[in-house]
Structure 1
Amino acid sequence: MTNIKKLLFCLILVIAFAIQADAALRWSLDFENGFNASSGTVDISRGNLGNPFDTSQEIYLLYDADSDSNVVRIGRTWQAPYCYLSYVNLASDILGPSGRVTIDFKIPVDFPVQCTSMTFFNSSTLDGLLDWQNQWLMMLSKPETASSDTRQRGQVQSNCWPGSGFYYLQQNWSYVLMPNPAAGWHTMEFEWYRLENNYPERDRADIRLKLDGETIFAYHDVLWTWPNTNLTIGCQRTGLEAEWGNTTRFHTGYPQNVLLDNIQIWDYTPQECGAPGAMEYLDGDVDKNCFVDFKDVKNFAEEWLQCTNPDDSRCDEYWR
């Protein structure tokens, strides 16, 4: 091997190591130490901190042979007090300004086609009515009621108090999954990269949701919510128990009995073109595949031929 080849080989190793080493783990919860996470204080309702495996509760741990680990089952009681598994007193930057959340979830064999929506991860302020405007969540949602489509949707929803008046803005990003997640374990992964901090109005960010490594959706420069420091696992918790009585909804446990494990929050930096934080494409990359080739030239020519009027604002891209 020549000296140049050796140098190139070492350079490749350094780059590969740098890519792998950039993602530091901020927070983790694997249920091998009961409900305790790597940091924060457990705030639980209808669960037994002293005996996490107490099946008389709505929230309890159990051993899963397929993953050879302890996992959590979060039920859905229809009687107050409503159940939730939350973590408070976390670091102020636990979810900001950018990050990546990964969650393992298990679909049962008898998973119903028309199931209810399920929240896997909820970030919120837990401060009553304001919380309803200031949260985001990762979930699988059911199809529209009037639709004959029975496929699940991977969804991230962001609510945020806009700073004026008693109302809120809600933004949903969802895509129909094809097909439904099969029985067994899956991994949902969500990444966000803040582009603009405009507190107390709205942040803007690049976002991407993945299921088992496949991109479900990716959006550039969309409205986003500033980082919250309270986390709820397995359901959406609004903090409205005093006002509305029902503080949680969209549980994973009833009636589906979907199990959760390995909830982790990571640092995030973009590693490839098209990833959150690196969605500004090269000039000439018409098909947005992160490089310019003959296909881009072909697509540009075909679209340019349809834009022969310089006064047509829709054709600005081709007349600049």
Structure 2
Amino acid sequence: MRATTIHGPKDIRVEDVPDAAIEQVGDVVVEVELACICGSDLWAYRGVSKRQVGQRIGHEFLGSVVDVGAGVTSVGVGDRVIAPFVWSDGTCPHCVQGLPTSCPEGGFWGSGSSDGGQGEAVRVPFADGTLVRIPEGVDDGLLPALLALTDVMGTGHHAAVAAGVGPGSTVAVVGDGAVGLCGVLAAKRLGAERIIALGRHADRAAVARLFGATDQVAERGDAAVERVRELTGGLGAACVLECVGTEQSWQTGIGVVRDGGRIGYVGVPHQAPALSLGTLFGRNIGIAGGLAPVRAYLPGLMADVLAGRLDPSPVFDRTVTLDEVADGYAAMDERSALKVVVRP
């Protein structure tokens, strides 16, 4: 079978790899129908996050089950399924409490020797704890919206939940990548009254408005903080979604949050921010978030997609074939694409 591999900075290839196959009784093999490139994949693409030469890459995919281990009970051959970006056993104390990302048996697609999602097929360990079955008869036109649930929509939702967004909230979203835009959509879904989207790209601002942003702040740094405070009568936003993970984005988030407010953070901290505990303490700022437990959110988010209440698919603005996947990485790296779908 063919799959995407990474060999160094900006060196993405499609190569023949061993066929995905059942290894344990709890495994299934999924033939990939749709995958996509994540903003976090770009850290490896740029050489910031190290990978082994020839390692598989990609962690967002959905598809059809083509082989099933003897111990699997929740899905069968022919079922369409969604895979969150982390597999988990579904039975450990962490999984039971809704934190599958801390499962001791879990792991990430494309890490170490595991299968990556950007290929023709994937072996899924612990299928009963990991996969979510898509009901029969779902229109193919909904698949891009369901694909977004594998990571970015669930991650944006986690930021909103961690920040305490609820009916009537005033929210500021730091970051206009796919996760930040999904954070806007999540805040709207949770009932926020005012949503301030921070970002300087006009095309992404248009998606933010479509998703429910009421205000747009294109300034950066101190100017962005000043503008948000101006929009909020000098107070700042009660709920801030930090969706980037850099020191600058954290400084902005702390600058725009209201005293007594909360920051929900989901930006991967490849550049560790320098946080002042004294500032957080003195202003009573709460911080929560981290690696999104997407599997726990998937059933509820999928129900809303299928009911027509939620559509994160506008975050996808380009589609490539597997043979063109390197072009997709380059487009996202150059910011000529927001988020790229890969069709094997």
Question: How does the TM-score come out when normalised to structure 1?
Answer: 0.27
State the structure with more CA Rg: 1
Higher relative contact order (CA 8 A, sep 6+): 1
More helix by share: 2
What's the TM-score once normalised by structure 2's chain length? 0.25
Q: Which structure shows the bigger proportion of residues in strand conformation?
A: 1
